[in-house]
Structures are given as structure tokens and as C-alpha cells.
Amino acid sequence: MSIDPSTLRESVLVAYFVLLGMLAFYGSHRYLMVYLYKRHQGPDPEPGRYFGPQELPVVTVQLPLYNERYVCERLIDAVCKLDYPRDRLEIQVLDDSTDDTVDLVRAHVARWKGEGIDIVHIHRTDRTGYKAGALEAGMKVARGEFIAIFDADFIPQAEFLQQTIHHFSDPKVGMVQTRWDHINRGYSLLTAAQAVLLDGHFVIEHTARNRSGRLFNFNGTAGIWRHAVIEDAGGWQHDTLTEDLDLSYRAQLKGWKFIFLRDVAVPSELPVEMGALKSQQHRWAKGSIQTAIKLLPTILKSDLPAFMKIEAFYHLTANAAYLLLVFLAVLMPIATVIRMHEGWMITLMVDLPIFLGATVSIVTFYWTSQRELGRPRLEILRLLPAVMGLGIGLSLNNSKAVIEALFRHESPFVRTPKYAIENRGESWLGKRYIRKASVLPLVELLLGAWFSASIVFVIMSAQEGVYSLPFLMLFQFGFLYVAALSLWHGFKARGGRTRAALDVAEAG
């Protein structure tokens, strides 16, 4: 049975514009976030009152670790220097490690214990529940009324508890989240682009959601919980890969109040190689969709106001946009060729509204977040193409995560490798924990080639379709950038492992 070419063209265009419209739906939501941020901007809220020196409650600081030989000591040192009465501070190193991290942690804990710090090393040989399971196990023996959590790549400042604990003088407050900062933002273009992406989430989204009365979430680290709230919400559960997001929504559905402190920033380390970033993004994307499947029906049937339900839908399903983006990437060059003979008027009438919704909104969103942090305009302009390209290039990796979540495919909690990389020029070659490359970069490379061929075709077609070149080039850059870095980092990692093995052999 033959297919009518005109019918095929119409089908492609319908699918293309449906995808663009759905992406504009998610993209235009960023305008709302910027609007709400501007409407509620200002300094962080002050606590209702401050605890007196003798009123300060007992705080348990939990440090979940799994094979973190490069950063475990740095984290323990920072937490042991927290400015808080020693008789009201308990530190739990929740160590699920299977390598020499266990010995490093044991020795370091013993040293600080000898200096009078209440610190304990809890080592599990059974990783049931992964991070959520470790946090749950620690809570069973924790003596703190409040639980602060720091992942291995964070370096909390000494004043962290003094900046956060007083907000719990309000008995309705269940959790306080602080902003992430980045010690290695300037290490490379990759880390700089990641920092911008995360700044948008923390500076704009968290501030807008929290201060406008919408639901927002604990980010797994650099925050502090009321112990009773975790229990009241059903405790740490490990049926999703984002136990933090899951617990956050369950707690707020119980009526607990959350607070975000934009002006309290905790330094952390960004992934410096593409494999580590992809594993992190995969976990976050998959976990958010798992949480949406788990909790959205309850949220939509709840007594929450409509504006809170709508925001929760946007928030929990946002990563589905990556899957839409991949479909769009396949269709865009074809649709461009089909539409090359349209006049400028039709193009402006049809494409401009979608462009404003799906593209300009992203630029506005990240521009605003960077200006709020005082970044120079020229630096922002230089980074924006890389930020957008990175988001596009990661779409295939994150789409795989979304599909896995939709089809209930089980996968382990793969933590993000950390290498204690803080300054430009420091090398991660030869380090442990580097993941082996998958076939995904080859597919990303094919998509980059697909757009490269489309660009050549449009250029050879003279003036017709030239308006599409910026979009085609952005997608081309995104896929080729992520594919090239994935392959290059994988190649360098293999070389680094070989050199490390030779060094060990020679030393032996």
C-alpha cells in the first residue's frame, strides 16, 4: 500500500507542531517562575524568633557515603567544625562503602572523636534502599530532634546550623533547604554550564515556588529536617530514585511548612566529566517521573488549591520534555525541508509564538538567575549557548531515564562520582569510580550528523529556509558537544586507568 506524499508531509508537520506546542507549554512556564520570583524577590525570611543559647535543640548531621575515598575526609572535617554546641551536635557517617573509603572514614572518625566530637561511623554491608535506606537506618538511632543532611560533594560552612535552625522556632516548619553553590564552577565550560542550570533551579524556581505558596522540594543535601516530620510523612522510602523529592511532597501534603533560604549558599563540587554528569541527570530525571507516577494522583485528588496542583504537575513532569525534545530533533530537519517554500509572513505567524514560548523563555529564565547572582552580562551571553546546547545534548540520556520510569524498569541508585576537583588544571584521570562509556554517545553523534546534513542542505538552498539555521545549529552543537565530550572523556579515562595500573605494577 503506497502512502500519499502530501499526507505524509501533513502528518510530519502535525507531529512537529504538536511537539513544538507541548515544549512551548513547558517552556512558557519559566515566564511564570520569573514573574513570581520578581514579585517575591527580596532578602530571605527572618525566623519568628531566635533560640536562646540554652534552648538550641539537639541536631543530628547525617553524611551518607558510598565509595567516596576522594572527598570523605573533606566532608567530615567541614561538619566537625560546625559552629554549634558540642553537647547538642551528633554526627553520623552513614557509610555503605565497599572499598578503602571504609578505612579512611573509620580512622578520620576516630581522630575527631578523640577531640571530643560526638561522631559515629555506621557501616552497612547491605545496601538495601541505597541512600534512603542508609538515612532510615541512621534515624533509628539518632538522638537529634532535627536532622541535617550533606552529600559527600558538599562542604558546609561553619555557620550553617546557626543560619537554619532558628527557623524551626515556628512549630509548623518541617524543613529548611539552602542554595547550592559550586567550588569548581570555573573548571571548564561543562562545569560552568552546569552551574547556570542549577542556579536557575535554586535561585528562580525554589524562591518563586516557596515564597508564592507553591510546593517545592528538599534537594537531598544542604538542608535540615524536623525528625518528627520525616516520620509523620511516612519516612524515607526507596521506591523511587529521588527519595528527597518523594518525601518532600508527602510531608507538604501533610500540611508541613517548608522554607528556602536563597541567601545561604553551601559550596559543592560539580561533576567534571560527562559520564558522571549523565549518571546524575539520569537518576534525577528517572526519579522525578517515578515520583510523578507515585504521587500526582494523590496530589490532584487532594484539597490543595488549583494553582498548587498545576505547579506540582509542571514540576514533577518537567523531565518528560526531554523525550519530546528527542522526537522533535528527529522531525525538525524534515519539517524544515517541507516548509522551505513558505513565505516569511506564515513563518512569523506560526513560528514566532512558539519561539517565544519555547526558546526566549529559557534565555529569560537563566539570564535572570545569573543577574540576580551578580554575574557580568558578557559572561552570561558567552555561557547561554553552551547552557542551551548542554540541555539539548543531554536529552537522549534523560529520555532514556523517562522511558525507564514510564515502563517501571528497575535500576539501582547510581551515585555521582566525586574526585575532589576544585580548581582549573586539576586532573581526574586515573581516578576510581569513572563509569564505562555506553553506546549512547554514538546515537548522539548520529543526531549531530543529522543536523549537520540539514544545515548543509539549507545553505545550498540559498535563501529558502535560512530562518531555521540558528535552531538547526543549536541542536547540532548540543548533540555533537555532548557526544564528543562523552567519547573524549571515555577515551581519556581508559588511558588514565591504564597509566594508573602501570604505575601500580611498577611500584610493586
What Rg value do the Cα atoms of the chain yield, rounded? 24
CB 252 within 8 A of CB 258: yes
User: Which residues are CB-neighbours of 377 under 8 A, at least 6 positions away?
Assistant: 371
Please give the model's pTM, rounded to 2 decimal places. Answer: 0.93
Per-residue pLDDT at 338: 82
Per-residue pLDDT at 194: 98
CB 216 within 8 A of CB 206: yes
**C-alpha span between 423 and 275 (Å, rounded):** 19
**C-alpha span between 444 and 488 (Å, rounded):** 13
CB 80 within 8 A of CB 106: no
Burial class (CB in 10 A: 0-12, 13-18, 19+), 421: buried
Amino acid identity, position 90: E
User: Which listed residue (118, 153, 244, 246) is catalytic?
Assistant: 244
**C-alpha span between 323 and 307 (Å, rounded):** 25
Backbone angles phi, psi at 267, to 5 degrees: -65, 145
Q: What does each of the 508 residues of the chain score in pLDDT, given as a tens digit?
A: 566 777 888 898 889 889 988 998 898 899 999 999 999 999 999 999 999 999 999 999 999 999 999 999 999 999 999 999 999 999 999 999 999 999 999 999 999 999 999 999 999 999 999 999 999 999 999 999 999 999 999 999 999 999 999 999 999 999 999 999 999 999 999 999 999 999 999 999 999 999 999 999 999 999 999 999 999 999 999 999 999 999 999 999 999 999 999 999 999 999 999 999 999 999 999 999 999 999 999 999 999 999 999 999 999 999 999 999 999 999 988 888 887 766 555 565 566 666 666 678 899 999 999 999 999 999 999 999 999 999 999 999 999 999 999 999 988 888 888 999 988 888 888 888 887 778 999 999 999 999 999 999 888 886 666 777 888 899 999 999 999 999 999 888 776 554 444 343 333 4
What is the dihedral angle through the alpha carbons of 8, 14, 17, 18, rounded to the nearest 10 degrees?
-130
**C-alpha span between 59 and 162 (Å, rounded):** 11
Strand order in the sheet with 119-123: 119-123, 89-95, 59-65, 146-149, 223-226, 173-182, 257-268
CA proximity to 473, closest of 332, 347, 365? 332
- What does DSSP assign to residue 257? E
CB 423 within 8 A of CB 185: no
Per-residue pLDDT at 356: 65
Per-residue pLDDT at 415: 84
Catalytic annotation on 96? Answer: yes
Number of H-type helices and E-type strands within the chain: 18, 7
CB 209 within 8 A of CB 215: yes
User: Which listed residue (95, 96, 181, 199) is catalytic?
Assistant: 96
Catalytic annotation on 199? Answer: no
User: Which residues are CB-neighbours of 469 under 8 A, at least 6 positions away?
Assistant: 455, 458, 459
Per-residue pLDDT at 321: 95
Is residue 101 left, alpha or beta, with left meaning phi > 0 and alpha meaning psi from -120 to 50? Answer: alpha
Residue 36's alpha-carbon distances to 13, 213, 449, in angstroms, are 35, 10, 40
**What residues are paired with 260 via a beta bridge?**
177
